[in-house]
Amino acid sequence: MKPVLFVTGNVPAYRVGALARLHEREGIEVCLFGGRSTHGGPPSAGTLPFPARTAAPPELAHLARSAGYRAVVCPTGGRLAPLATWLGARAGHKPLLLWASLWAHPRSAAHALTYLPLRRLYRSADAVVTYGPHVSAYVEAHGALNVHVAPQSVDNRFWSEPGVQAAADLPPGPAIRFLFVGRPVPEKGLGVLLDAWGRSSLAPGQAELVLVQADAPGQDGVLAVAGGTPARLREIYEACDVLIVPSVATATFREPWGLVVNEAMNRGLCVIASDTVGAAAGGLVRDGRNGLIVGERDPGALARAISRLAGEPALARSLGEAGARDVKGYSHDAWAAGFSSALKSLGLSAAVGSVE
């Protein structure tokens, strides 16, 4: 079969394995149009394990309408790239799969111009593939009909590797250690977290809050450490017990997922997440099963969740153990299977056997 043209801006390191698995199943050619790569880390360095090329919007349109591909995957991100891909696929009578991540349209003057075109994409795509059921509900409310889920994934084998030593600069000490990993920007909710930590009134010897990649003011029981490589972050996870993801919705951003949740769950950490985190809205974090979910911008509720786990470390451990089991279903295989399901619905899947 002819390959599938997979259009995306960049390939961050965490996505390489997923695309490689999709290439094994379906045969793809990835076409990169560049742009910002803030979320998910910088583009992967080195040779990619699947065919890839770069192209500007005019060339994207040409490739999408060419006879060399059996289908085209179009992203929702980017300025002219989605439109060029859509126009090319329609001109070439190619089945179009839209890869969607938004579950709330950004509210700004610039984004207002993209609302109607995106709605047209949702309605006209032959199939839509989403990050999770929270995104599926959004696109279906905006007219999408043939919707499939490709669950967000990381390299579970790497993040769950046994025998990892805890970070040397985080020696055993407090009874329970909480962790925040994220950029110091408003949407990540660091201000809410620091407010909640102050309200929890935990003694420094009882609990500690570790901040990675966050320039936060000094506070009792709060330690800021440097991030770095994935291996370094894995060692930090190993030294901690609970990951806190307090993201908040802003006019221009709502957390599509939060891959730190997958990473931390693989290391057995319990997760406290706000209800505006995609991994919570999308079903990976489940309140009372593998973590706790609190309302966004509610430092009181977050403080109570922190204090609860600090007072019940056995509960934190049991929730973390459940998360380590649950995250196994969010694999690169499952992600690739979501796209195979969409292709199968159009009679275009090359995958052998049933779609998982």
Mean pLDDT of 43-54: 85
Q: Is residue 149 part of a domain?
A: yes
Let me know whether 205 and 98 are in one domain: no
Task: Report the pLDDT value the prediction gives residue 45, as an integer from 0 to 100.
Answer: 64
Let me know whether 55 and 183 are in one domain: no
Give the SS3 label for residue 155.
Answer: coil
Q: Is residue 351 part of a domain?
A: no
Domain count, the chain: 2
- Distance, C-alpha 337 to centroid of its chain: 17
CB 275 within 8 A of CB 302: no
Q: Cα(284)–Cα(326) distance, rounded to whole angstroms?
A: 7
- Tell me the per-residue pLDDT of 286-304, one tens digit each, with 9 for 90 and over: 999 999 999 999 999 999 9
What is the pTM assigned to this prediction? 0.93
Let me know whether 165 and 254 are in one domain: yes
DSSP 112-144: HHHHHHHHHHHHH-SEEEESSHHHHHHHHHTT-
Higher pLDDT, 203 or 282: 282
Residue with structure tokens 């408003």?
Answer: 186
What whole-number percentage of the chain has pLDDT above 70? 93
Let me know whether 178 and 270 are in one domain: yes
Let me know whether 299 and 263 are in one domain: yes
Let me know whether 95 and 171 are in one domain: no
Let me know whether 203 and 244 are in one domain: yes
Give the SS3 label for residue 20.
Answer: helix
Domain that holds residue 220: 157-329
Let me know whether 189 and 40 are in one domain: no
Q: Cα(93)–Cα(87) distance, rounded to whole angstroms?
A: 10
Q: Cα(298)–Cα(211) distance, rounded to whole angstroms?
A: 19
Query: Residue 228 maps to which CATH number?
Result: 3.40.50.2000
- Tell me the per-residue pLDDT of 204-246, one tens digit each, with 9 for 90 and over: 789 999 999 766 656 778 888 998 899 999 999 999 999 999 9
CB 125 within 8 A of CB 85: no
Tokens of 230: 């994935």
Q: What is the mean pLDDT of the chain?
A: 92
Q: Is residue 252 part of a domain?
A: yes
Let me know whether 117 and 239 are in one domain: no
Task: Report the pLDDT value the prediction gives residue 36, as an integer from 0 to 100.
Answer: 64
Is residue 126 scored above 80 in pLDDT?
Answer: yes
Is residue 356 scored above 60 in pLDDT?
Answer: no
- Distance, C-alpha 232 to centroid of its chain: 20
In one letter, which amino acid is 211?
Answer: L
